[in-house]
Amino acid sequence: MKTTPLNAWHHQSGARMVDFSGWEMPIQYDGIIAEHQRTRTQAGLFDVSHMGELHLEGPDALANLQRLLPNDFRDLQIGQVRYSPLLYDNGTCVDDLSVYKLCDEKYLLCVNASNIDKDREWIQSHLQGDVTLTDKSAETGQIAIQGPAALSIVEKLVGRDLSAIKYWWFDWALVEGKELMLARMGYTGEDGFEIFCKAGDTQWVWDQLLILGKDQGIGPVGLGARDTLRLEVTFPLYGQELNETHPALAAGLGSFIKLDKAEDFIGKAALVQAKQNGMSERLVKFVLEGKGVPRPHYRVLDLETGEPIGEVTSGTHSPMTSQGIGMAYVKTSYAEVDRQIGIEVRNRVIAAKIIKGAFVKVARKG
């Protein structure tokens, strides 16, 4: 199994380790609910070094981004980050990723760990002109620090005020000779940073943040709480909400898909077609009205007729609201806010209500 630079630390700390698409990663340390609440109220530290870092550079880098990705990067500033799905010709997702503009003609693409090889091969095979793609995943470490105390802890690490970094922007810092890239963003809905460093510096950064954040209640958070945190704020996960079967528009990614940008992009024709013809299914968010916990692949039923109308993609027990929450693809005619649907949990059908927005509202300063 592949490991991150923090693997030995996880083992020593007593973390429960799992195989996460070929990576040996911590699923929990103290318990999912405790780690979740720590992140919502204090600060959580996440090892995300398994994420991939692909560097795209050259005079034609921007033109390639514009053609490879459906979002528009023409007005992306140096120091700014922008999210986008990466599409196949048929409009479904190769992956979803974040694009960081490092300087003119130089971009960092942060991709999902499970998709690094697939993305690199896909992008490489579609590059045109004067541009090179370099996979720096193995030499790059990444730590996320999330929660209301995250900003002040990272400020202690770098010794300066970071409040001017806006959400979805980044800056660099040099700390004891170690070069850090601090991106104010994350996968929990909370304020915080994703910190990129050299792989060999990852342990040092991790240790420093744990020491500097001790008084503010910082602690490590595993993949279990990472999943409940992202689900409470309805962030999609590749392999669950995003996949190679549903068009990206059906997943609610419309605001990241610029059908009207000047350049043609891979997947555009299929999405335009899908929009014209109407999509058969849509991703919805639902709250269980009875007791239970929805899980991926549970069937969604018409509450009156019992007819199958869809499938759950993600589900959990919300540690903040203590309700069953989830996302599901359902037939388009059912995809209306406040509509009741049924979730089949073993031999029972539990009523659920489709909601809009997130399950948990987060007060974020960034």
Partner 1 sequence: MEVRAELKYTEEHEWLSIQGNKATLGITDFAQNKLGDIVFVELPEVGTIVEAGETIGNIESVKAVSEIFCPVAGEVTEVNKDLEDEPDLVNTSCFDDGWIVKIRIDSSDLTDANLMSDEEYTQHCANE
Residue numbers of the site for partner 1 (CB under 8 A)? 27-28, 31-34, 224, 228, 291-293, 295, 316-317, 319, 322, 346
Quote the least distance from Cβ 224 to partner 1, whole Å.
Answer: 5
Beta strands, E only, the chain: 16-20, 23-28, 43-47, 52-57, 81-87, 93-103, 106-111, 132-135, 140-146, 170-175, 178-183, 192-198, 218-220, 281-288, 299-301, 308-317, 324-331, 340-345, 348-355
Whether the CB-CB separation of 95 and 120 falls below 8 Å is answered with: no
Q: What distance lies between CA 338 and its chain's CA centroid?
A: 26
Of 32 and 97, nearer to partner 1 (C-beta) is 32
Name the residue nearer to partner 1 (CB basis): 11 or 74: 11
Min CB(27)–partner 1 separation in Å: 7
CB of 38 to partner 1, least distance (A): 13
Q: Determine if residue 199 is left, alpha or beta; phi over 0 gives left, psi from -120 to 50 gives alpha, anything else beta.
A: alpha
Distance of closest approach, residue 209 Cβ to partner 1, in angstroms: 25
Separation between Cα atoms, residue 178 and residue 157, nearest integer Å = 11
**Smallest separation (angstroms) from partner 1 to the CB of 112:** 20
In the complex, minimum distance from the CB of residue 19 to partner 1, in angstroms, rounded to a whole number: 14
Measured from the CB atom, is 137 or 316 closer to partner 1? 316
Which one, 77 or 346, has the nearer CB to partner 1? 346
Nearer CB in complex with partner 1: 224/267:
224
Residue environment code for 239-262, b if the CB has 16+ CB neighbours within 10 A, otherwise e:
bbbbeeebbbbbbbbeebbbeeee
Comparing CA positions, the residue from 86, 80, 65, 73 lying closest to residue 253 is 86
Q: Which is nearer to partner 1, 35 or 190 (CB)?
A: 35
For residues 168 and 364, the answer to whether their CB atoms sit within 8 Å is: no
CA nearest neighbour of 328 among 304, 346, 303, 301 = 301
In the complex with partner 1, the residue whose CB is nearer, 243 or 323, is 323
